[in-house]
Structure 1
Amino acid sequence: MTDATITRLRKPSWKDPRLLLGILLVLVSTAGTVALIGSLDHGVEIYVARQGIPVGARLSSQDLDRMTVRLGGAEAQYLRADEPLPEGAIATSFVGKGQLVPRGSIGAARALTGKPVAVPVDGVLPEQLQEGARADVWVAAPDERNGFKDPHLLVRAGEVVKVVQNQQAFGANASQVVIVLIPDDKLPQLLAAQSNKSRISLVWNPEGSAP
Structure 2
Amino acid sequence: MVSDVDGRGARLAQPSWKDPRLLVGILLVLASVASVVALVGGADKTVPMYVARDTLVVGQPVNAGSFDTVRVRLGDVDGKYFSPRDALPGHAVAVRMVPKGELVARSSIGATDALDRKPASVTVAEPLPKEVVVGSRVDVWVALPDERNGYKEPELMLPGAEVAALTSASMALGAGKTTQLMVLVTDAQMPKFLGAIANKAKVSVVWNPGALS
Q: TM-score range by the shorter chain?
A: 0.7 to 0.9
Quick one: which amino acid aligns to residue 64 of structure 2?
S
Please state if 1:96 is matched with 2:99: yes
Question: TM-score w.r.t. structure 2 length?
Answer: 0.81
Question: TM-score w.r.t. structure 1 length?
Answer: 0.82
Q: Structure 1 residues 118, 168: CA separation in 2 closer, same or farther (over 3 Å shift)? A: farther
Q: Structure 1 residues 198, 52: CA separation in 2 closer, same or farther (over 3 Å shift)? A: same
Q: Conserved in 1, the CA contact under 8 Å of 2:168 and 2:178?
A: yes
Residue of 120, 138, 142 corresponding to 2:123? 120
Q: Tell me the equivalent position of 2:3.
A: none
Mapped partners of 2:179, 2:23: distance in 1? 79
Extract unaligned runs of 5+ from structure 2.
1-11
Aligned length: 200
Q: Which stretch of the first structure deviates more once superposed, 200-209 or 121-130?
A: 200-209
Q: Conserved in 2, the CA contact under 8 Å of 1:167 and 1:177?
A: no
Please state if 1:183 is matched with 2:186: yes
Q: Tell me the equivalent position of 1:59.
A: 62
Give the root-mean-square deviation of aligned CA atoms: 2.7
Q: Tell me the equivalent position of 1:38.
A: 41
Q: Tell me the equivalent position of 1:130.
A: 133
Mapped partners of 2:78, 2:159: distance in 1? 32
Q: Percent identical across equivalent pairs? A: 42
Q: Tell me the equivalent position of 1:139.
A: 142
Residue of 108, 112, 118 corresponding to 1:109? 112
Q: Per the alignment, in what secondary structure is the counterpart of residue 166 of structure 1?
A: strand
Extract unaligned runs of 5+ from structure 1.
1-9
Q: Structure 1 residues 11, 139: CA separation in 2 closer, same or farther (over 3 Å shift)? A: farther
CA deviation string 1:66-113 (max 9, x = no partner): 111111122111111112222211111111111111111111111112
Q: Tell me the equivalent position of 1:29.
A: 32
Q: Conserved in 2, the CA contact under 8 Å of 1:120 and 1:174?
A: no
Q: Conserved in 1, the CA contact under 8 Å of 2:140 and 2:156?
A: yes
Structure (1/2) with the larger helix percentage: 1
CA deviation string 1:7-59 (max 9, x = no partner): xxx79945373x55544433222211100111112122111111111211111
Q: Conserved in 2, the CA contact under 8 Å of 1:45 and 1:80?
A: yes
Residue 131 of structure 1 deviates from its aligned partner by 1.5
